Amino acid sequence: MSFHFVDTHCHFDFPPFTGAEAESLRLAGQAGVREIIVPAVTADRFDGILALAKNFPPLYAALGLHPLYIARHSDNDLQQLDALLSQRCPRVVAVGEIGLDLFMETPMFEQQQRLLKAQFALAKREALPVILHSRRSHDQLAAMLRQAKLPATGVVHGFAGSLSQAQAFIKLGFAIGVGGTISYERAQKTRQVMAQLPLSSLLLETDAPDMPLQGFQGQPNRPERASTVFEVLYQLRSETPQEIADALLANTRRVFNLPSSL
C-alpha cells in the first residue's frame, strides 16, 4: 500500500536538514511524505523559511513568533511579520508557530497573551489558519480562541491534553495534530484521545527534529517518520489504513487551503 502523507509540522530550517534539503526530501518522499509545512519560531528565520518554500516545491511556509522565545521577540519582529503577511507569497499557508506555554520557568504569560492576540489579528486580517503551540495552557488557549473568532481556524499541534480539552478545540473548528507521542506505550492518555477523536479532526505531524519517536530517542526526528506515526495511529483506530490516510490528506487540504492536486 502506498499512501500520500503531509507532515503538517516540521522545523525543516534547522539541522540536520540544513544543507541536506534535497536528500531529506528524497527520504521523506520514499516514505510517502510528499509535502511538508515549515513553521517559524523567531523573526530571524522568516527569510530562510520563505526561501526554502520558494526553492523546494514540497515545502510550504508558516510565519509566526513562538511563545518559547517570548523574551526575544520585539515590536519590530511583529512589524516584520505584519509586512510579510500583507505582501504574502502563495507559499505561506499559515500563521505559526504561535501559542501559549506555561511549562517554561519564566513564562512572562501576560506578554505571551499580548503577542498571541496580535498574531490572531494578523491571521484574521489575512484569513490564514494558525498553527498553535500549547503546553499546560489548553484551557487558557481555548478561551482566547473563543474570543478571537478566527475565520480560518487551524491546528493545535502535538496535542497531549485530555479528551475534553481536545473536544473543546474541535468544537471551535480546530484540528488536532497527531505526532510521535502516540508511539510510546506509556502515553496511554494521548493514545486513547487519538483513538476516540473524530477522524475529520486529525492532522499528521512530526515536529522534527524534535519529539523523537519510540525507538529513536536521542536522535533528531525526521519528516519521513510521519509514516510511522500513521502506522501507530491506524493500529489505535477502527477505520482502515486507506480511510485514515485519505481523511488525513483531505483534512490537511481543508485546514491549510492546499491545492486539491496534492
Angle at which helix 109-126 crosses helix 138-148, to 10 degrees, equals 40
Q: Residue 46 and residue 41: Cα distance in Å, rounded?
A: 8
Quick one: pLDDT at residue 169?
98
Beta bridge partners of 176: 156, 202
Cα 176 to Cα 195: distance, rounded to the nearest angstrom: 12
215 residue type, one letter: G
For residues 82 and 219, what is the distance between their CA atoms, to the nearest angstrom? 35
Q: What is the pLDDT of residues 223-243, one digit of tens each?
A: 999 999 999 999 999 999 999
Per-residue pLDDT tens for 68-79?
A: 999 999 999 999
Tell me how far CA of residue 182 lies from CA of 24, 104, 154, 177, 178, in angstroms.
23, 23, 21, 11, 8
The 10s digit of each residue's pLDDT in 200-212 is 999 999 999 999 9
Three cell numbers written together for 10:
516540521
Distance CA 173, CA 144 (A): 14
Region 138-152: what's the mean pLDDT? 97
In the chain the domains, ranked by start, together with CATH numbers, are: 5-256 (3.20.20.140)
How many Å apart are CA 183 and CA 212, to the nearest integer? Answer: 9
Residue 217 has a CB neighbour count (10 Å cut-off) of 8
The pLDDT score that the predictor gives to residue 88 is 78
Report CA 191 to chain centroid distance, whole Å.
18
- The pLDDT of residue 33 is 98
All three cell numbers of 153, joined, read 481556524
- Arithmetic mean of pLDDT over the chain: 97
For residue 232, give every residue at least 6 positions away whose Cβ sits within 8 Å of its Cβ, in sequence order, or none: 182, 183
pTM as predicted: 0.98
How far apart CA 112 and CA 73 sit, in angstroms, is 10
The answer to whether 179 and 206 are in contact (CB under 8 A) is: yes
Rounded mean pLDDT, 155-162: 96
Which of 184, 225, 232 has its CA nearest to residue 28? 225
